Amino acid sequence: MQAHGLAGASISVRWEHGMKFGYFDDQKREYVITQPDTPLPWINYLGCEAYFGIISNTAGGYSFYRDARLRRLTRYRYNNAPFDLGGRYIYVRDNDAKEFWSPSWQPTRHQLEKYECRHGMGYSIIGSEYKGIEARTRYFVPLGENLEIWQVTLTNHRHHASSLSIFGGVEFCLWDAQDDSTNFQRNFSIGQVEVEDDVIYHKTEYRERRDHFAYFTSSAKPAGFDTQRDKFLGPYRGWDNPAAVERGESGNSIAYGWAPIAYQHIKLNLKAGESQQIVFILGYQENANDQKFDPPNSQTINKKVAKATIAKYLSPANADAAFENLRQYWDSLLNIVQVDTPDEHTNRMVNIWNAYQCMATFNMSRSASFYESGIGRGLGFRDSNQDLLGFVHMVPSRARERILDLAATQLPSGGAYHQYQPLTKRGNNDVGSNFNDDPHWLILGVAAYLKETGDWSILGEPVPYDNQPGSETPLYEHLQRSFQYTLDRLGPHGLPLIGRADWNDCLNLNCFSDTPGQSFQTTTNKEGKVAESIFIAGLFCLAGRELADITVQKACPTHGGTGKCAEAESEAKKYLAEVKKMEDTIRKHGWDGEWFLRAYDDFGNKVGSKECEEGKIFIETQGFCTLAGVGLNDGMAAKALQATKKHLATKHGIVLQQPAYSKYYLHLGEISSYPPGYKENAGIFCHNNPWVIIGETRVGNGDQAFDYYSRINPSAREEISDLHRCEPYVYAQMIAGKDAPTHGEAKNSWLTGTAAWNYFAITQWILGIRTSYEGLQIAPVVPKNWKGFKATRKFRGVTYNIQVERAGAGNAVALTVDGKSVKGDVVPLPTDGRKQVAVKAVLT
């Protein structure tokens, strides 16, 4: 064990132990894993449009088209031991020695020489050497295609020629991943394949209602194949020891039911020093209903389109070109925001990994990771709206589409389905509605979109309610109804009623669940007319101010508006009056003396108060109220932040509440179901740490903001990977809190609102490069000992080259734009067609 320190300038935290399993290659934008037995599988995502795969550092994981539950291509076994079994496996067999191994370590787990996994932007390269044979596979999904490519390069480093057998393939999932893992009485009889011209086609259920099939093939002439799993593995054997690989010969089996697979066997003779490449392709293809079969009255798949695609990508040159294309795509996405600060962890996360994770959360919401099964939740209304904060600058057109889809699941009341299914885009009835914070996130998502793009036309888009044709109103009215939703649901203190839950899905004040297995969120035993949320109150204040701004801005003729500015102003005033009223109510009924209360329960008692025995102080209201600007002028915000530091901050991040609930409280719900220190029961829920970070910037405390930011920054935690356990290149939802025996251990990496919020907090609030309606605002609140930093930001078609210099210890900004000094801290949008703007900000 070595002693390690954080590089961040203002960090006083020192880790007492540490160990790494790889390193960052920032030049290549890769994380390089150097030993395969990481504490947990460390994964990456392939694909960023419609075809997706999850891949671990040992090639575990699966693929799907659009919907991880309903269109699953390959099988994955959950909660297995080992954890990540089921994947894109290659076996290499030395035909003379009659020995075989997996170059990705799993599933045979041979002691490899020179193992390396490079997770990059939309691709992973897994390679190793064993007894002088090197095998390196580059996995990726070409842009615009519904397929994945595995480029396997084999090199013989021995002094003599080697006769090798390569087996590569997948196990198919029978499409609906939920049904696939439960309905065996049917599924063991329905599997069907076709094998034609050395391509294996998986066509289970194609004979009936499906219009899609999968295919697998390779660029080499196979010596044989298998499509029946049990023929390939042999009875009582697992993936670590397939009979066909052991024998060095495939069975050319055709699957009738049971478990269809696609494995190809390729024989290679490599001279000493020789390299050869094999390209494998796994693809997904849809055919129009009247074109499914060829000839039309047969049961044979029409393969016309698929064959052309296959022919294209089996050429290594075309595969290389597709890879180069993907690389450039990611360069262009990441180059929208690039920073050069004194802290390498900040640079690495902002420039590479945090932005990359924001793409994953945008695409997946909370559906498919190694912690989200892909068969559970769809896209969350609140989650997806928040994800936009970190994504909107990358592909605004997709953000626009997402906003309209989300709004279409809104209900006429202004409320929203909590989740919707990505394939059907319909609200999910199992979970339903009445999470009373949901509608406000739509206002925040739209505001972020408008500030980034200036595309005011989105507000006029006709959008239905509950997807009912004929119910359309302009999107703007959806926002009005979102705001009104809370005003229609105020409780005894004039605070918002909480409904099933607010942001904290586990604070279930109307549920009173007393039966094992009962859902905490959807079992509602109380009328819901008493329990109130101060969190929603804070959210309402922020959303109300955003709505007021949108209302005024949208009237401007330059924004395509009517020019009826007076009318707009008076509408906006109404919103602001409600916000003011809510702030007064918070001051009166939502303040505990030193911090913001969390809620009132169904008995009208306080939650998150000194008066409580446990759960006296919660992070959500301290963070969200201060970030929303509540209590900035009367000292409440500063006090709340001090209390947060005193009671909630740990060196691994800020815990959700204190003291943790030591027992189950029927009237509080799921929050008290977790053992102390985990998840919502006093875990470090990384999603809401950035709210406090932003709150600290709002009171001007850059040192504290950056200190909190660094505590949960995954790159800054790399050196304690043995404790942290999750990937050091992405955020996890949770780090175990101080009440947990495993304090500092992360869980549930990748799909978390933490990604977008931290990105937003560091780029827009600490570095202070903030989108606004008038232009790019430059308002850094950085540590005092930073001499400055540089950044480039592409914004509305213009590249801003920003240089920030510290001349004094404060946060006041003196701005120079293209050599001319400008009043205030907003760089006006150029009106003369300039595409490059030089910005200098001096902090005094």
The residues that are catalytic are 505
Report in angstroms how near the CB of residue 511 gets to ligand GLC at its nearest.
Answer: 11
Which residues does residue 268 pair with via DSSP β-bridges, in sequence order? 164
Q: How far is the CB of 544 from ligand GLC (least distance, A)?
A: 20
User: Which helix (H) or strand (E) is 169 found in, with range?
Assistant: strand 162-175
Among 18, 120, 380, 631, binds ligand GLC (CB under 6 A): 380
Among 194, 583, 670, 707, binds ligand GLC (CB under 6 A): 670
Binding mask 603-642 toward ligand GLC (x if CB under 6 A, else -) reads: ----------------------------------------
Q: Return left, alpha or beta for 260; rule: phi > 0 is left, psi -120 to 50 is alpha, else beta.
A: beta
Question: Residue 667, Cβ neighbours under 10 Å: how many?
Answer: 17
Binding range to ligand GLC, per CB under 6 A, among 30-38, 502-510, 554-562, 790-798: 502-510
The stretch near ligand GLC (CB under 6 A) out of 70-78, 218-226, 376-384, 631-639 is: 376-384
Residue 575 contacts residue 440 (beta carbons within 8 Å): no
Min CB(137)–ligand GLC separation in Å: 33
Among 145, 383, 707, 719, binds ligand GLC (CB under 6 A): 383
Alpha helix (H) ranges present in 590-635? Answer: 619-627
Q: Binder to ligand GLC among 545, 679, 793, 840 (CB under 6 A)?
A: 679
Residues that contact ligand GLC, how many (by CB under 6 A): 16
Pick the stretch among 9-17, 185-193, 199-207, 375-383 that binds ligand GLC (CB under 6 A).
Answer: 375-383
Q: Is the dihedral of CA 580, 548, 504, 391 positive or negative?
A: negative
Among the residue ranges 486-494, 504-512, 599-607, 631-639, the one whose residues contact ligand GLC (CB under 6 A): 504-512
CB 841 within 8 A of CB 782: no
- Among 202, 382, 639, 724, which residue interacts with ligand GLC (rule: CB under 6 A)? 382
Nearest-angstrom CA–CA distance, 71 and 62: 11
By beta-carbon proximity to ligand GLC, the closer residue of 120 and 753 is 753
Cβ-contact 517, 418 below 8 angstroms: no
Separation CA 322–CA 326 (nearest Å) = 6
Name the minimum Å distance from CB 366 to ligand GLC.
5
Closest approach, Cβ 432 to ligand GLC, in A, equals 12
What value does the CA radius of gyration of the chain take, rounded to a whole number of Å?
28
- Rank residues 147 and 746 by Cβ distance to ligand GLC and give the closer one: 746
With binding defined as CB under 6 A, does residue 366 bind ligand GLC? yes
Which of 118-126, 336-344, 499-507, 715-723 is the region at the interface with ligand GLC (rule: CB under 6 A)?
A: 499-507
Q: Give 323 or 664: the residue with its C-beta nearer to ligand GLC.
A: 664
Q: Which residue is nearest to ligand GLC (CB)?
A: 505
Closest distance to ligand GLC from the beta carbon of 508 (Å): 9
The CB-of-640 to ligand GLC minimum distance in angstroms stands at 20
For residues 718 to 747, the per-residue mask of contacts with ligand GLC, x marking binding by CB under 6 A and - elsewhere, is ---------------x--------------
Tokens representing residue 742 in the block? 């495993």
Near ligand GLC by CB under 6 A: residue from 31, 503, 595, 708: 503
> Based on CB atoms, which residue is closest to ligand GLC, 127 or 380?
380
Alpha-carbon distance of 46 to 28, in angstroms, equals 17
**Choice between 608 and 753, CB closer to ligand GLC:** 753
**Rounded least distance, CB 435 to ligand GLC, Å:** 8
Task: Give the residue, chosen from 124, 165, 504, 672, that forms a contact with ligand GLC under the rule CB under 6 A.
Answer: 504
Strand partners, 821: 816
Shortest reach from residue 518's CB to ligand GLC, in Å: 13
| Nearest distance, CB of residue 373 and ligand GLC, angstroms | 12
Q: Report residue 721: phi and psi, to 5°.
A: -60, -30
Q: Which is nearer to ligand GLC, 687 or 725 (CB)?
A: 687
Note whether 105 and 87 are within 8 A (CB): no
398: left (phi over 0), alpha (psi -120 to 50) or beta: alpha
Cβ of residue 416: shortest distance to ligand GLC, in angstroms? 12
Q: How far is the CB of 618 from ligand GLC (least distance, A)?
A: 12
Comparing CB distances to ligand GLC, the nearer of 124 and 688 is: 688
Closer by beta carbon to ligand GLC, 326 or else 628 = 628
In the complex with ligand GLC, the residue whose CB is nearer, 658 or 752, is 752
DSSP letter for 208, please.
Answer: T
Pairing of strands 30-33, 113-120: antiparallel
Which of 630, 770, 608 is CA-nearest to residue 680?
608
The Cα 734–Cα 697 span in angstroms is 23
Stretch that binds ligand GLC, among 208-216, 378-386, 777-785, 830-838 (CB under 6 A): 378-386
Kind and range of the H or E element at 657? strand 657-658
Q: Tell the burial category of 204 from Cβ atoms under 10 Å away from its Cβ (0-12, 13-18, 19+).
A: buried
Smaller CB distance to ligand GLC: residue 129 or 405? 405
Task: List the beta strands (DSSP E) in 176-316.
Answer: 193-196, 199-202, 212-218, 224-228, 260-270, 275-286
**For residue 541, what are the contacts with CB-CB under 8 A and spacing of at least 6?**
579, 582, 583, 586, 625, 628, 629, 630
Q: Give the helix/strand (H/E) hosting 113.
A: strand 113-120
Q: Which stretch binds ligand GLC (CB under 6 A): 106-114, 264-272, 380-388, 582-590?
A: 380-388
Q: 174, 268, 506, 694: which one contacts ligand GLC (CB under 6 A)?
A: 506
Which CB atom, from 538 or from 753, has the smaller least distance to ligand GLC? 753
Q: Which two tokens stand for residue 444?
A: 């925040």
Q: What is the DSSP letter of 367?
A: S
The type of residue at 420 is Y
For the beta carbon of residue 655, count every other beta carbon within 10 angstroms.
29
| Alpha-carbon span 423 to 418, nearest angstrom | 16
Site string for ligand GLC, 752-791 (x = CB under 6 A): xx--------------------------------------
DSSP-assigned letters across all residues of 65-112: ES-TTTTEEE---TT-SSTT-SB-EEEEEETTTTEEE-TTSTTT----
* The one segment of 75-83, 258-266, 298-306, 501-509 that binds ligand GLC by CB under 6 A: 501-509
Q: Which of 80, 77, 78, 75 is CA-nearest to residue 64?
A: 75
Select 253 or 644, whichever has its Cβ closest to ligand GLC: 644
- Smallest gap from residue 655 Cβ to ligand GLC (A): 14
Nearer to ligand GLC, 250 or 681 (CB): 681
The one among 94, 226, 532, 680 contacting ligand GLC by CB under 6 A? 680
Which three-class secondary structure state does DSSP give residue 503? Answer: coil
CB neighbours of 597 closer than 8 A, spacing ≥ 6?
534, 589, 590, 591, 606, 607, 608, 609, 621
Query: Strand locations in 556-652, DSSP E?
Result: 599-600, 606-607, 617-618, 649-650
- Selection from 24, 15, 10, 116 nearest residue 719 by Cα: 15
Name which of residues 514 to 533 contact ligand GLC (CB under 6 A). 521
How far is 633 from 776, CA to CA, in rounded Å? 25
Name the β-bridge partners of 138: 125, 151
Segment near ligand GLC (CB under 6 A); pick from 88-96, 289-297, 325-333, 498-506: 498-506
Interacting residues with ligand GLC (CB under 6 A): 366, 380, 382-383, 503-506, 521, 670, 679-680, 687, 733, 752-753
